[in-house]
């Protein structure tokens, strides 16, 4: 087992959000998405996949199954979303 420090993968760019892959094997991928204020990810789908989101710092709005929510805040709140 390899232990990785999340902080080492929190890299930010002014131009656009960054994506850093932490683990990938057998159809599973774990990655970070790092956003600066005002940056966004275009609306898209993950058909046939389970997606889990953990906000580590900050907050934002997400659209899940066509429903907009702004309840996604950092993990210190101990809130998480499930399908």
Q: What is the DSSP letter of 76?
A: G
| SS3 label, residue 30 | strand
**pLDDT beyond 60 at 81:** no
pLDDT (tens digit, 9 = 90+) per residue, 59-77? 888 887 888 887 666 665 5
Cα 26 to Cα 63: distance, rounded to the nearest angstrom: 28
| SS3 label, residue 8 | helix
**pLDDT beyond 60 at 55:** yes
Ranges 30-34, 47-51, 52-56, 63-67, most confident: 30-34
Q: Which two tokens stand for residue 56?
A: 């580590």
């Amino acid at each position: 087992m390899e232990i990785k420090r999340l902080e080492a993968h929190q890299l930010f760019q002014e131009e656009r959000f960054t994506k850093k892959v932490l683990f990938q094997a057998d159809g599973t991928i774990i990655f970070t998405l790092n956003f600066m204020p005002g940056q966004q990810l275009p609306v898209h789908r993950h058909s046939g996949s389970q997606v889990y989101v953990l906000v580590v710092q900050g907050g934002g709005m997400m659209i899940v199954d066509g429903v907009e929510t702004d309840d996604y805040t950092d993990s210190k709140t101990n809130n998480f979303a499930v399908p």
